Structure 1
Amino acid sequence: MTETRASARPGDPEEVLGRLGSSWTWMLGAALASLVPGILLLVWPDATLQVVAVLFGLYLLVTGAFRFVAVFGQERGERVPGLLTAVLYVLAGVLCMRNPLQTIAALSVIVGIVWLVSGLLTAYAALATPGLPHRGVLLGTALLGIVAGIVVLALPSESAVALTRLLGLWLVLLGMMELAVAFAWRSAQRRLTPGG
């Protein structure tokens, strides 16, 4: 337990959020928040742009909430990239939900910016945090986001079907990587627990 968390009072909201955000079940929930909409988009490629915008907006809002809580599982000095990413996800989610009848170009720009900035912030956090477990998986996730963001921004989708498939594929890949991190985290916690 870190010095920061050790000095917190029991029942302190920061302490509660810290325990929740660093639990493997919270990480599992975040992985499912990516995986489920990704699968829905892949099995429903003919969804209208309105449905795609609402699904993606819900994904962004839920993921932003998961990332916000997960930030409290980190040291205070390491929280800034995670907080910025959480705020970015929530703002983009609100944009998608507020105007689901937007054009394919507008949705592509929102998606591209979220993936690119989120990938850059994740890469920074992975490289700047000393002794970070699973650094390779986080860097892989960051690289995936950066590449996806660049592709969407450089070649905006010309149809809702193309954007839906790209969104679905990326969310499924991201969800699977997050699942791997969650189960690796559970395994590490069990090794550190006496009698685990």
Structure 2
Amino acid sequence: MDQLARIWWLILIRGIVAIIFGILALIWPAITLLVLVIFFGAYALVNGIFSIVAGIRHGSGSRAWLIISGVLGVLAGIVAFVWPGITSLALLYVVAFWAIFSGVSEIVAGIQMRKVIENEWMLIIGGVLSVIFGILLLIWPGAGLVTLVWLVGIFAIIYGITMVVLSFRVKKLPATA
């Protein structure tokens, strides 16, 4: 605990940076989305290159899969840089279909659990809300992209506030002998 108390200021800085990022994401959602797509592109490109190198150096049967995975990563990175709009739209569709499929599975699970637990309706309502969210993303993808960035911004602000509060609590920890 003593070591944690000594670095309380690092937690504080982490929280402040998260708050600033969150505010900037809310103020400039289009720029934030572009930056997220560029970061994804850079990650995919670098990860792809490392996978290709690992595949070339690796002599076993998984060599081909590493190389294929690497090539796909490099291609995904290039697509993100060349067509950032398509990349952000693809990300939106992944989130939308995930929300729909997970919502349907929650509805089914809630119906099946009716005999086992009480208040299964909460799981069913959660599933219905998830399906509605996914469908709305598909109907209005432009608004959905902005909404996703806003959610990231709001999350960053809330997370940052919790880190700031935590930093001051950690600062007050008693030193151990």
Q: TM-score range by the shorter chain?
A: 0.3 to 0.5
More helix, by proportion: 2
Provide the TM-score with structure 2 as the length reference.
0.41
Task: Name which structure has the greater RCO, CA cutoff 8 Å, separation 6+.
Answer: 2
Which protein shows a greater Rg? 2
Provide the TM-score with structure 1 as the length reference.
0.38
